[in-house]
Structure 1
Amino acid sequence: MENILRYYLMPHPPLIIPNVGKGQEKVIQNTIDSCNKVGEEISSLKPETIVIITPHGTMFSDAIAISNEDEIKGNFNQFRDLETYIGGKIDKEFNEKLINICKKGHIPAVGIDSKLLKRFNKAFELDHGAMIPMYFINKFYKDYKIVHITYAMLSDIELYRFGIAIRESAKNLNRKIAIIASGDLSHRLTEDGPYEYSSEGAKFDKTVLEYLQKGDIVSVFNMDKCMVESAGECGLRSVYIMLGAMEGEEVKGELLSYEGPFGVGYGVMSFHNKINNKSNLELLINEKKIAFNSKISNSNPYVKLARESLNYYYSTGQLMGVPKDLKKEMINERKGVFVSLKKFGNLRGCIGTFLPTTNSVAEEIIRNAVQAATEDPRFERVTEDELVDLDLSVDVLGEPVKATKDGLDPKVYGIIVSKGHKRGLLLPDLEGVDTIDYQLQIACEKASIDYHQNFEIEKFKVTRYKEGE
């Protein structure tokens, strides 16, 4: 008999708790009924341990957090419910086995406790992403320990491998467990939702649920990144880990319910899998390599050079020389260049020059690409393992010209503000920078210039090159 008895996808809307919803929860009655069904099913399975993967515990950017004290509890005080408390005993033996497996497999994971979290001014407690599934389980079954996991912003493959480590831990301990991937789907389904509406929201929800029902694991991992980012979800990384725990199984999801009346998608799903001993990990890694190589081969020369610069630097520790087979303008022209690195849609590094500081655009790209990865003070240094998950863009700056506020357009022009020796630059067409005033405010903040005082303005255009375009 398999150690993992069942897997579930569950949402975590706080208003589903009666003392929080105060009647509003009745709008998502189908979700409530499905969560009760999960609780009843778990009661019949009687797992010794329930592994809950949540997005809302204390999250680290570089390591998955595993709560590791004897007990853990939480409440809904932040949602004005002073009566409902949830808690349980932690399966520390499982944690120890899981952390050791991760250490041997070089999977970034760390046990956290009150002492560690105090350093970050955080409390050791359950979050609502864990408590809401437990609320429904505890109605029917309480004789279990928990493993409380908060995912990190790691690559999808790393999260999948962590899921495999959960599977190995259960097998090695001969522990009967159930796994819950806690996560809401798109938060951008309607105009009056908690986030700005996106037409990609409903598309994401429909797509990911269909793939999970079919057991099409590769497609879950290969969903369009722009769609995923636009959807504003919080459950996909929980799903990645859960799917890793399904390694060696034929996946089949049963959708119990889906609702989105408050602008957020709530999906409840139960998985009835069969053992087939086929590995998806190798397939996922190969698919990733194919997609990565395709992206590189289809990139324009500017972004391709930035990528080659990073690969060369991380292989040799040195800056590469300028290749001879580049476009003439890349070798002969001197311009300012910004290189930006994004990881899963989030900025990971950006370094550039207002005006040229080297002999060519090519040299500017080579140097700034490496500095964006290693010297941006806002971020930790990019590791070599991260390179495959980065998306690069190169902005080649036009000549700055003096300007007035009336002649600006944040979608068309970048700006340079200056006062004395202080200078601040902001590139054009940045997400969320939609007004001239906001663009000027940000540029002034970067230069430590008082926005309400007089300062000089220059504007410039850029030619932007993106990887894969």
Structure 2
Amino acid sequence: MNPFVFACITPHGGEIIPELAGDKPERMKLTRDSMVKLGKKMMAANPDTIIVLTPHGTRIDGQFSISNSERMYGSFDENGSVYEMERMVDRDLALRITKAARDSGLGVGSINYATAAGPLSCLPLDWGAIVPLAFMPDIPIVVITPSREVTLADHYKFGEVVREVVQNTSKKIALIASCDWAHAHDEKGPYGYDPAAAMLDEEVVGLFRSNELEKMAQFDPEYVDAAKPDGIWQTMILAGAIPKENRSIHLYSYEVPTYFGLICAEVSYVEDR
């Protein structure tokens, strides 16, 4: 049984959003066009809730962070423009995932702010969620932020937990793994240049094409640190949620228009092969 009506891996560079492209709309056009296609696929799938895995949400050292506020609001500014977004939270699904993860022995925190419920119960919505959601239907969300202090094996296990919870709900659930890749492609960028960036991105694209996402867990930590991706952790959760034997990946695009790599891919469920 397919637990997710739609799943994808997306980047979160601000300029992907048309309103933030500034005077260089061609710079991320390839990625933007891919995001429009993914958004249309998501709309056609008609989910009730979207789970977003983002590296830039509220972080808890050593634990997975799961949104449990009434709503989330955030803004992102780029090239002199500001893009704002507000989404309601599917608190029932968030609490189900939290309980199942705890029952599985995983470290997880259910997070809220200000009041238990009502309009003041509002967490910040980060750009790792805002950018992909800008292309998706306006429906409730659950935002999950992984912890890099947690092993990649436990990220995969957390994905298995998410799959089990989704399989046992009557709601139609979609999944987004929001991932940028190596951030050290340009010496003028904030992280400088390292040849590991191009090498890692090339390997990642190859793993997408061969449907072997799990092999990212074998990357040497020093290699990862040199290339500076932020997508491995969310990808491992998605790999656990949609395992290899049930997974088909359609790579839409890869580009490096600035200092970091951008990948768009659709992840489909297939019956056991």
| TM-score over 0.5 (shorter chain) | yes
Letter in 2 for 1:22: G
Partner of 1:192: 188
- Offset at residue 74 of structure 1 (A): 1.1
Instruction: Provide the secondary structure at the position in 1 that maps to 2:229.
Output: coil
The residue number in structure 2 matching 1:275 is 271
Contact preservation (8 Å) 1:248, 1:275: no
Kept in 1, the 8 Å contact 2:30–2:255? The answer is yes
* Cα offsets for 1:16-41 (capped at 9, x unmatched): 23343312242110000000000000
Partner of 1:14: 14
Aligned residue for 1:51, secondary structure, equals strand
Report the 3-state secondary structure (helix = DSSP H, G, I; strand = E; otherwise coil) of the residue aligned with 2:201: helix
- CA–CA separation in structure 2 for the residues paired with 1:163 and 1:93: 18
Q: Which runs of 5+ in 2 are unaligned?
A: 116-121
Following the alignment from structure 2 to structure 1, what is the Cα–Cα distance between the partners of residues 264 and 195?
A: 22
**Using a 3 Å threshold, how does the CA distance of structure 1 residues 264 and 248 change in structure 2: closer, same or farther?**
closer
Secondary structure at the aligned position of 2:265 is classed as strand
* Equivalent residue number for residue 126 of structure 1: 125
Letter in 1 for 2:102: K
TM-score, normalised to structure 1's length? 0.54
Q: Which residue of the other structure, out of 203, 206, 212, is the alignment partner of 1:207?
A: 203
* Distance in 1, Cα, partners of 2:244 & 2:27: 39
Q: Percent identity?
A: 27
- 1:148 is aligned to 143
Q: Deviations over 1:392-425 (max 9, x none)?
A: xxxxxxxxxxxxxxxxxxxxxxxxxxxxxxxxxx
Matched, 1:225 2:224: no
Aligned-pair distance for 1:250? Answer: 3.1
Taking the aligned partners of 2:270 and 2:228, their CA distance within structure 1 comes to 32
Structure with higher RCO (Cα < 8 A, 6+ apart): 2
| Contact 1:14-1:79 at 8 Å conserved across structures | no
Q: How does 1:11-160 map to 2 (within 5 A)?
A: 11-77=11-77, 80-82=80-82, 84-115=83-114, 124-137=123-136, 141-142=137-138, 144-153=139-148, 154-160=150-156
- Amino acid of the structure 2 residue aligned with 1:55: P
Count of matched residue pairs:
266
Q: Name the CA shift for 1:147/1:229 in 2 (closer, same or farther; >3 Å).
A: same
State the alpha-carbon separation in 2 of the partners of residues 276 and 220 from structure 1. Answer: 23
Task: Tell me how far apart the structure 2 counterparts of residues 161 and 25 of structure 1 sit (CA, whole Å).
Answer: 40
Q: Distance in 1 between matches of 2:142 and 2:25?
A: 28
Shift of 1:89: 1.4
Alpha-carbon separation, structure 1, partners of 2:270 and 2:60: 34
Which residue is 1:254 aligned to?
A: 250
- Read off the aligned partner of 2:86 and give its amino acid letter: G
- TM-fit CA distance, 1:206: 1.1
Q: Aligned match of 1:237 in 233, 237, 240? A: 233
Taking the aligned partners of 1:58 and 1:79, their CA distance within structure 2 comes to: 25
Computed over aligned residues only, the root mean square deviation of the Cα atoms, in angstroms, reads 1.9
TM score, norm. by length of structure 2? 0.91
Q: Which residue of 2 aligns with 1:366?
A: none
- Whole-Å separation in 2 of the counterparts to 1:69 and 1:79: 30
Alpha-carbon contact 1:69-1:113 (below 8 Å) kept:
yes
Shift of 1:7: 1.8
- Residues 213, 252 of structure 1: 8 Å contact kept: no
| Aligned twin of 1:465 | none
Deviation at 1:194, TM superposition (A): 2.5
Offset from partner CA, 1:114-143 (integer Å, 9 cap, x none): 149xxxxxx821000000001011xxx33x
Name the structure 2 match of 1:175. Answer: 171
Give the superposition deviation at 1:187: 0.6
Q: Which amino acid aligns with 1:228?
A: V
Aligned-partner Cα distance in 1 for 2:43–2:85: 17
Larger radius of gyration: 1
Amino acid at match of 1:63: Q
Alignment of 1:365-404 (within 5 A): none
Superposed, 1:445-464 pairs within 5 Å as none
Whole-angstrom distance in 2 between the partners of 1:112 and 1:79: 32
Relative to structure 1, the CA distance from residue 94 to residue 10 in structure 2 (aligned partners, 3 Å threshold; closer, same or farther) is: same
CA gap 1:248/1:264 in 2 versus in 1, 3 angstroms: closer
Q: CA deviation at 1:80?
A: 4.6
Q: Is the 8 A contact 1:159 1:241 kept in 2?
A: yes
User: Do the aligned partners of 1:254 and 1:269 also contact (CA within 8 Å) in 2?
Assistant: yes
Q: Contact 2:214–2:236 at 8 Å: present in 1 too?
A: no
